[in-house]
Amino acid sequence: DIKETLAGKTVLITAGPTYEAIDPVRFIGNHSSGKMGFSLAEEAAKRGAKVILISGPSALNIENENITLIRVTSSKEMFTKVFEFYETVDIAIASAAVADYAPKEIAAQKIKKSDNSMFLELVKNPDILKTMGEKKSHQFLVGFALETNNEEENAKEKLTKKNLDAIVLNSLQDEGAGFKKDTNQIKIITKSEILDFTLKSKKAVAKDILDFVESKILK
Ligand code: C5P
């Protein structure tokens, strides 16, 4: 029996990878499955929230009357969609693995192979989460970080730089945590605390994250 602890709240979640087109048939992407974001969406919906799930290309699907699933491809599309809704939401959780760079130009035709080496110029994508932090008013804003060194220090720096309320640190050190896996091992970091969780299913991790958010926003 689930209590509708998030009834009346709207939650925006970004999920999955982004694909940045190189030409009509190729892209730059990553191995993000979208599992963490979809698990968060499902758990928030169970708790009675209205969920806007904005996902890059993912094999996952979700049907729930409380969830509006918006599929996007590139980081620029994700950016546009996020800011169509951002002002109206109570909680925003950025779990998408957004590409940091995209090709400067998308070739109109399939690029033919010719020389032994080729050069592809990339330009930085807009940081969706950082922009959410800049525009933050009433929203409780949660980001993710995946670090391979100085994990806590780097995550804390992101927390400050992006003006977040909390950052979820994914550990890559642990067997079973991260991309494409069904499990994850996290720490939730705020300005004043570090909460350490054990390795568990992404569904269970979603519960921990939302329990934490509720502990901060519900009086
Ligand atoms: O700076 P870094 O990419 O490590 O930060 C990761 C966090 O920022 C994640 O929450 C990710 O969803 C978000 N992000 C974003 N837009 C980008 C890059 C990262 O929303 N262009």
- CATH number assigned to the domain comprising residue 26: 3.40.50.10300
**Ligand 1, residues at Cβ distance < 6 Å:** 14, 75, 94, 96, 98, 125, 127-129, 143-145, 158
pLDDT at res. 1: 59
Q: Which atom of ligand 1 approaches the CA of 142 most closely?
A: 10
User: For residue 179, what pLDDT band results from cuts at 50, 70 and 90?
Assistant: low
Q: Which two tokens stand for residue 169?
A: 């640190």
Q: Which CA distances in Å does 160 have to 130, 163, 166?
A: 10, 5, 9
**From ligand 1's centre to the CA of 96, what distance in Å?**
7
pLDDT confidence of residue 3? 84
Is 61 part of a structural domain of the chain?
Answer: yes
Q: Per the structure block, which two tokens stand in for 89? A: 């939401």
- With a pLDDT cut of 70, the percent of the chain lying above it is 95
- pLDDT score, position 205: 96
- Is residue 38 in some structural domain? yes
What is the rounded CA–CA span in Å between residue 111 and residue 128?
29
Evaluate whether residue 59 is within a structural domain: yes
Beta-carbon contacts of 126 under 8 Å, excluding residues fewer than 6 positions away, are: 75, 76, 79
In a domain, 74, yes or no: yes
69 lies in which domain range? 10-99+121-217
Each residue of 82-107: pLDDT tens digit? 999 999 999 999 999 999 999 999 99
pTM of this structure: 0.95
Q: Is the pLDDT of residue 109 over 60?
A: yes
In the reported structure, the alpha carbon of residue 98 is separated from the centroid of ligand 1 by a whole-number distance in angstroms of 6
Give the residue numbers marked as catalytic: 30
Contact predicate 185/197, CB 8 Å: yes
> Which of 131, 200, 206 is closest to 168 using CA atoms?
206
pLDDT in the model for residue 172? 66
Whether 202 maps to a domain, the answer reads: yes
Residue 106 lies in a domain: no
Report the domain count for the chain.
1
Mean pLDDT of 125-131: 97
Question: In the structure, what pLDDT confidence band is assigned to residue 125 with cuts at 50, 70 and 90?
Answer: very high
Task: Tell me if 96 sits within 8 A of 18, measured CB to CB.
Answer: yes
Tell me which amino acid residue 19 is.
Y
Instruction: Tell me if 179 is assigned to some domain.
Output: yes
On whether ipTM exceeds 0.95, the answer is yes
Q: What is the pLDDT of residues 61-81, one digit of tens each?
A: 999 999 999 999 999 999 999
C-alpha span between 97 and 17 (Å, rounded): 5
Q: Is 126 annotated as a binding residue?
A: yes
Q: For residue 109, tell me if it sits in a domain.
A: no
